[in-house]
A = this chain, B = another copy of it.
Amino acid sequence: MIRVGIVGFGTIGKRIADAVAAQGDMHVSGVLKVTPDYEVLVAAAKGFKVYTLPDRVEKFKKAGIEPAGTIEDLIKASDVIIDASPEDVGAENKEKYYSKFDKPVIFQGGEEAEVAEVSFNALANYDEARGRRYVRVVSCNTTGITRVLTSLMLNGVGIKKARIFIARRGADPKEYKKGPINDVVPNPATVPSHHGPDVKTVLKNVDIVTMAVAVPVTIMHMHMAFLELDGAYPRDAVLEALAKTPRIFLADVGAGFQSLAQIIEYARDLGRPRGDFPEVAIFRDSVTVNGNELYLMYGVHQESIVVPENVDAVRAVLGAMPKWESIKKTDTTLKLFTEGKRYG
C-alpha cells in the first residue's frame, strides 16, 4: 500500500483524500490542515489523521483538537506527498520542509511550473513523471484544454493552432468573499492568459493562445475553443476521438444538457460525491467542423477535474503501474464514465 500524505485539505485536498482512500493500492497516511475549522471534523469522520504546521499546534489544542503531529511527522509517515496548499504556499513548503526529505512531492497548478521538474497530465505525459522528485499536476483549465487537445492528437488529428476563450467561474461555491457579482472581469486583461503558456508545460510544441474573463458563476468554467487542424476531418471522426477518450463526456442539448448547471445536476443525481464532475463536459452540439477549423464548447469542473490526475500522478512518480492501467483503475474506482472508453 502506497502511503499518501496530503498537505492541505481545502477544495482540492479533501477530494484527493477521498479519491486516494478509494483506490485499494494506496491509502491516506494523513492530511495537513492549517486551520482547526469544520473541515477537521470532516477529516476525522472519514478516519484521516490530521496533522498541522509546527506553529499551529497550540491553536489546534485550544480548539480542542489534538493533532497527530506536525508536517515533518506526516512526511516521515508517507511514501509520497500531495501538496494541495493554496497558490504559492506549495513552493514555500518545498523550501521549508520537503527539501529536507527524500520523498516525491506532487504539487498543484496554482504553483509556478518551476516548482517541479515535470508538469503533469495523465493522458498526455504520464511516463514523464516516473522517478521524479517534484511533479506538478496542472490547473483545472489547463487540464481541460490538455485533455481535449490530447484526445485529438492521440487519434491522429493534428492541431496547428489552438485559440481558446474562457469564461472562468469567479469563485468556488464555498468562497463567500470572492466576486464578481454582476460583472465580467478580464482575467487578466492582457493576452495571453496564463493558461496557454501553462498548456505548453505539458504539450511542449502546441501553438496556443488563450484569453479569459471571470463571470459571476461558482459551478464550472466554460471554454469556447477554436482549433485550426492540419487538414479537413469529418465531424464524426472528431466526435469519435472525443467519445472514446477517458475523462471526456459528450453532453447533448437534446438530452437536457442545455447549460453547465445540468451537467452538475446530473452528477448530483448520479450520487457522485459532492456532485463532482471530473470529466471535461463537451457540448456535442457545439462540435463544429468548418473546413480545417474545429469549434467546441466545454465545461471544466474546477473543484474536481484534477482529482483523478493526482491519483495517477502518485502511481506515475513511483513507477507503480503502467499509464493506461492506472487511468483505468482510477476511473473505475472513482466511478467515472468508462463505457466505450479506450484505455490503451
* Residues of B contacting A213 in the complex (Cβ-Cβ under 8 angstroms): 167, 222, 224, 297
**Residue A182 contacts which of B191, B224, B261, B283 (CB distance < 8 angstroms)?**
B261
CA distance A224 to B188 in the complex (A): 12
Q: Evaluate contact between A226 and B224: CB separation under 8 angstroms.
A: no
Do B253 and A189 touch (CB < 8 A)?
A: yes
A217 to chain B, nearest CB (A): 6
Residues 141-190 of A contacting B (Cβ, < 8 Å): 163, 165, 167, 180, 182-186, 188-190
- A282-309 contacts to B, CB under 8 A, are 283, 285-286, 288, 290, 293, 295, 297, 299
A261 touches B211 (CB 8 A): no
Residue on B with the closest CB to A188?
Answer: B285
A333 within 8 A of B: no
Contact, CB under 8 Å: B180 / A261: yes
A209 to B220 CA separation, bound complex (whole angstroms): 25
Judge if A16 is at the interface, Cβ distance under 8 Å: no
A87 to chain B, nearest CB (A): 20
Q: Contacts A167-B213, A216-B216, A297-B211 given; indicate if A222 touches B286 (C-beta within 8 A).
A: no
A285 / chain B contacts, CB cutoff of 8 Å = 186, 188-190
At the interface, yes or no: A93 with Cβ under 8 Å from chain B? no
Judge if A259 is at the interface, Cβ distance under 8 Å.
yes
Q: A222-B213, A290-B209 are in contact. Are A299 and B185 (CB under 8 A)?
A: no
- B-side contacts of A185, CB under 8 Å: 258-260
User: A219: CB under 8 A from chain B?
Assistant: yes
Is residue A40 contacting chain B, with contact meaning CB distance below 8 A? no
Q: A286 → chain B, closest Cβ, in Å?
A: 5
Taking a contact as CB atoms under 8 Å apart, the answer to whether B189 and A286 are in contact is yes
Extra contacts besides A167-B213, A189-B258 (20): CB < 8 Å: A165-B226, A167-B167, A182-B216, A183-B217, A183-B260, A184-B299, A185-B258, A185-B260, A186-B283, A186-B285, A186-B297, A188-B285, A189-B283, A189-B285, A189-B286, A191-B288, A211-B295, A215-B217, A216-B216, A226-B226
